[in-house]
Amino acid sequence: MFDRILPYLLAGISVGGQYALIAVGYTMVYGILRLINFAHGDIFTAAGFFMVYFAAAMPLYVAAPLVVVATVLLGFVVERVAYKPLRSAPRMSIMISAIGVSYLLQNLMWYVTGGLAKQYPVLPWISEQITIGPASTKMATVVTPVITVLLVVALVMLIKHTKIGMAMRAVSRDFETAQLMGIKINSVISMTFVIGSFLAAIGSMLYFSNYTTVTPTIGAMPGLKAFVAAVFGGIGSIPGAVIGAMLIGICENVIKAVGYTTFSDAFTFALLIVVLVFKPTGLFGEKTSEKV
Amino acid sequence: MKKVMALVLALMMVLTCAAFAEDANVIKIGVFEPASGDNGAGGKQEVLGIEYANSLVPTVTIGDTEYTVELVVVDNQSQTDKAVTAAQTLVSEGVSVVLGSYGSGVSMAGGEVFAQAQVPAIGCSCTNPGVTSLCDYYWRICYIDPFQGTVMANFAMEQGAQNAYVLTQLGDDYSTGLGFYFQQAFESLGGTVVAETFTEGTSDFTAYLNNAISAGADVVFAPSSTTSASLIINQAASMNVDFPIMAGDTWESSVILDAVKGTSVQVYCSTFFDERDESNTVAAEFVAGFKEWLNANPDKLTNNGGNDIVAAVSALGYDGYMVALEAVKAAGSASPADIAAALPGVTYDGVTGAIAFDEIGDAQKDMAYIKLANTETGEFDFVKTQTVADLG
């Protein structure tokens, strides 16, 4: 019995880990800006394409760090160009702007790549094959959850114990007051996007090592599911996003294992509705207290 | 100010209309193919065949006047919603006849537009029966899925398979259609089938492959776009599966060869044509000429996937173009209505065999080539041909 379930669990945890790395980006931006950054899934895709093109032009040990830098830069620029000018605009405007950026990025990638699927380069070690009991899989499957947990622990430490982390917490509590206390909110917000994009870049390397085809719209599904994970775990909560993502990854695979392959996506989104109806703040969401 | 703007815009429209005015001695042939999206790679190869044919025969004589053939190429992006817009572009460009498309779903979507505009279309490699049976203005020069599914089911049985796992993409007419005909044939031969579907945009196929393993499948039949195919093959390779994976004509592509190379996965597909088949002199001539043309044009070689392997869809594109010219000649006119009236009577001995249409509009093709993707050389090895008669 265990032999039969193990491969599904492995796949589930690995996919969950990848969703988690994206979900953290969603949840951090939401926590601070109260903005759902719809372009996040496309930044994840862009990271995939950066790797495809960089790896073709230079050795991998140069390409990989460069991919991370380029992705972080992209996240930073998106925030500066599309979100910062709308800081004092109604929240709806900035959300529409995010949707606009998402489509812009998708179409840009479509234009640049000609819309054909590109093969992701083989990364050493994590693309290697390993056998665990009855299941044979890629190293990335096993490594992903470990890297995810390490990165998230590091992130939580950063937020709890550093000055910039303290500033982030302050900004997420109250925008104006934080500003009055002398916190440069623009640099704090930029930092949030930098961290989110960094995690998306790492996530994309792990994801595409397993699923080696990159297309302009490939980030849409993982992006949406990561968003569901962030809501499920309680948007704004980092550990919540990780646990939510893991649960979704595992559930998805278990549902496919039971034979309901057609409904595995439907399940994910039905879950979103159920969570919103019964526990609007998610598993670990902060309780909203009315300000007087 | 606004009035001036409006005037300028109106003038521009008039001017552009004037620029598009018909040249008396040009006949336009629409090329309705995907150049991007899931089936972009294959669509480009089909266009290559059409372009090659056009480079050989760039004119057609109607009555006593020689007309230059102008190809109008649009990209339907492998998506049924985009296909409608692409088809409308062709119609408004005033094409006399349409070639394509790679992919049945987009052909069926475009077919409605062509039927409404009464422009005849010739399908080159779309295999779903619905393309022609549901549309009076669609003809087709390749075999269809009930035949292809039966061929592959018989072949799977011959390979000793008893339990098949059929994996198709929800909402893709080609994929679900071919999967259904395979299942029907395989079950009527006494095999058992487990059928499952995946949604568009799926990247994680490990759960599906695990399901195939736990269902005790000894063959997987997964007709799908090449983008999904390379993901399926990749993941099958990393899971070390021991069953062969089979599919239809779409998988005869460099994308598959690249995915299979260096792995231990056995991939079989059926297709319309084999470049090493020497029995047909027209075909041998085509293959030699096409390779030379590809190697002389670096851009074309890139579009072919970077090598000069002749894909079956290129051969069909070539035949499609020739059939279209035959129809124009038979009609003795460049008007779409006359061509549509002449098409049913057209016969042509093409690269992919003799072409003659039945009352539905399908060519009477009854031979499929089964090929195995070689994991070492990265080429397709010819396995066997199969005709309807062989199947008994």
Residues B94/B68, Cβ–Cβ less than 8 Å: no
Residues A109/A216, Cβ–Cβ less than 8 Å: yes
- Chain A residues within an 8 Å CB radius of B227: 117, 213, 215
Cis peptide before B101 (omega within 30 of 0): yes
Comparing CB atoms, the residue among B36, B201, B208 nearest residue A256 is B208
- Answer with the residue of higher pLDDT: A181 or A2: A181
Would the CB atoms of B199 and A136 count as touching at under 8 Å?
Answer: no
- Give the Cβ contact number of residue B234 at 10 Å: 22
- The answer, for A107 touching chain B at a CB cutoff of 8 Å, is no
Q: Which helix (H) or strand (E) holds A150?
A: helix A139-161
In this prediction, residue B169 has a pLDDT band, given cuts at 50, 70 and 90, of very high
Task: Pick the range with the lowest mean pLDDT from A4-8, A205-209, B30-34.
Answer: A4-8
User: Chain B residue with minimal CA distance to A266?
Assistant: B199
Residues B114/B135, Cβ–Cβ less than 8 Å: yes
DSSP, collapsed to helix, strand or coil, labels residue B58 as coil
| Token reading at B128 | 């779903």
Distance of alpha carbon A121 from alpha carbon A110, whole angstroms:
19
Per-domain residue ranges of chain B: 2-143+283-361, 145-271+369-391
Instruction: Look up the pTM and report it.
Output: 0.87
What DSSP string describes B69-129?
EEEEEEE-TT-HHHHHHHHHHHHHHT-SEEE--SSHHHHHHHHHHHHHHT--EEESS---T
Who contacts B154 (Cβ-Cβ below 8 Å, separation ≥6)? B185, B189, B386, B391
Give residue A43's pLDDT.
Answer: 96
Distance of alpha carbon B244 from alpha carbon B156, whole angstroms:
9
Backbone φ, ψ for residue B21 (5° rounding): -55, 145
Comparing CB atoms, the residue among B35, B36, B210 nearest residue A257 is B210
Could you identify the residue written with the tokens 């009991």?
A133
User: Chain B residue with minimal CA distance to A15?
Assistant: B204
Comparing CB atoms, the residue among A131, A211, A256 nearest residue B207 is A256
Residues A119/A213, Cβ–Cβ less than 8 Å: yes
Choose the mutation target among A15, A18, A112, A116 for the interface with B, i.e. most B CBs under 10 Å: A116
| Token reading at A142 | 């096993």
| Closest C-alpha to B42, from B229, B250, B272, B294 | B250
A254-289 per-position pLDDT tens digit:
898 888 888 888 888 888 888 889 888 888 876 655
Residue type, B354: A
DSSP, collapsed to helix, strand or coil, labels residue A280 as coil
Give residue B5's pLDDT.
Answer: 67
How many residue pairs bridge chain A and chain B with CB atoms within 8 Å of each other?
A: 97
Distance of alpha carbon A19 from alpha carbon A228, whole angstroms:
10
Task: Pick the range with the lowest mean pLDDT from A5-9, B109-113, B277-281.
Answer: B277-281
Minimal CA separation from B339 to chain A, in Å: 34
| Token reading at A273 | 């509705």
Give residue B389's pLDDT.
Answer: 65
- Whether residue B208 has pLDDT greater than 60: yes
Distance of alpha carbon B111 from alpha carbon B104, whole angstroms:
10
Choose the mutation target among B33, B36, B102, B196 for the interface with A, i.e. most A CBs under 10 Å: B36
Backbone φ, ψ for residue A26 (5° rounding): -60, -50
Distances (CA, A) of B307 to B48, B258, B289, B311, B378: 13, 11, 15, 11, 11
Give residue B96's pLDDT.
Answer: 95
A127-186 per-position pLDDT tens digit:
888 888 777 888 888 899 999 999 999 999 999 999 999 999 999 888 889 999 999 999
- The answer, for A180 touching chain B at a CB cutoff of 8 Å, is no
Choose the mutation target among B76, B203, B253, B257 for the interface with A, i.e. most A CBs under 10 Å: B203
User: Chain B residue with minimal CA distance to A122?
Assistant: B234
In this prediction, residue B137 has a pLDDT band, given cuts at 50, 70 and 90, of very high
Give residue A7's pLDDT.
Answer: 86
- Chain A residues within an 8 Å CB radius of B37: 115
CATH 1.20.1070 describes domain A2-153+185-278: no
Where do the H-state alpha helices sit in chain B?
2-19, 40-56, 80-93, 104-117, 130-133, 145-158, 173-188, 206-214, 226-238, 254-260, 281-296, 298-303, 312-331, 336-342, 388-391
| Token reading at B317 | 């594109």
**Torsion angle of the four alpha carbons A22, A24, A26, A27, in this order, in degrees rounded to the nearest 10:** 160
Would the CB atoms of B230 and A7 count as touching at under 8 Å?
Answer: no
Would the CB atoms of A261 and B226 count as touching at under 8 Å?
Answer: no
Distances (CA, A) of B187 to A208, B144, B163, B174, B217: 37, 19, 9, 20, 14
Handedness of CA A73, A75, A77, A80 (dihedral sign): negative
- The answer, for A286 touching chain B at a CB cutoff of 8 Å, is no
- Chain A residues within an 8 Å CB radius of B207: 8, 11, 252-253, 256-257, 261, 264
Residues B154/B189, Cβ–Cβ less than 8 Å: yes
Residues A172/A236, Cβ–Cβ less than 8 Å: yes
Minimal CA separation from B73 to chain A, in Å: 15
Name the CATH code of domain B2-143+283-361 (choices 3.40.50.720, 1.10.3720.10, 3.40.350.10, 3.40.50.2300): 3.40.50.2300
Question: Residues of chain B with pLDDT > 70: what percent?
Answer: 93
Choose the mutation target among B198, B200, B206, B214 for the interface with A, i.e. most A CBs under 10 Å: B206
- The answer, for A267 touching chain B at a CB cutoff of 8 Å, is no
Q: Are strands B26-33 and B65-75 parallel, antiparallel or unpaired?
A: parallel
Distance of alpha carbon B201 from alpha carbon B210, whole angstroms:
19
- Chain A residues within an 8 Å CB radius of B202: 221
Who contacts B344 (Cβ-Cβ below 8 Å, separation ≥6)? B139, B357, B359, B361
B291-349 per-position pLDDT tens digit:
999 999 999 999 998 888 899 999 999 999 999 999 999 999 999 999 999 999 999 99
Give residue B73's pLDDT.
Answer: 95
Distance of alpha carbon B61 from alpha carbon B70, whole angstroms:
14
- Chain B residues within an 8 Å CB radius of A135: 239
Comparing CB atoms, the residue among A110, A211, A259 nearest residue B231 is A211
Minimal CA separation from B114 to chain A, in Å: 25
In this prediction, residue B150 has a pLDDT band, given cuts at 50, 70 and 90, of very high
DSSP, collapsed to helix, strand or coil, labels residue A59 as coil
CB contact residues (below 8 A), chain A span 185-224, against chain B:
207, 210-213, 215, 217-218, 220-222
- Chain A residues within an 8 Å CB radius of B214: 4, 257
Return the bridge partners of B368, or none. B386
CATH number of B145-271+369-391: 3.40.50.2300
Comparing CB atoms, the residue among B206, B211, B227 nearest residue A117 is B227
- Chain B residues within an 8 Å CB radius of A220: 201
Choose the mutation target among A45, A213, A224, A253 for the interface with B, i.e. most B CBs under 10 Å: A213
- Chain B residues within an 8 Å CB radius of A252: 207
Per-domain residue ranges of chain A: 2-153+185-278
Q: Under an 8 Å CB criterion, which residues of B touch A?
A: 35-38, 40-41, 75, 77, 170, 196-199, 201-204, 206-208, 210-211, 213-214, 226-227, 230-231, 234-235, 238-240, 255, 258
Comparing CB atoms, the residue among A129, A211, A256 nearest residue B203 is A211
Task: Pick the range with the lowest mean pLDDT from A116-120, B247-251, B275-279.
Answer: B275-279
A58-75 per-position pLDDT tens digit:
999 999 999 999 999 999
Comparing CB atoms, the residue among B199, B210, B231 nearest residue A213 is B231
Residues A99/A41, Cβ–Cβ less than 8 Å: no
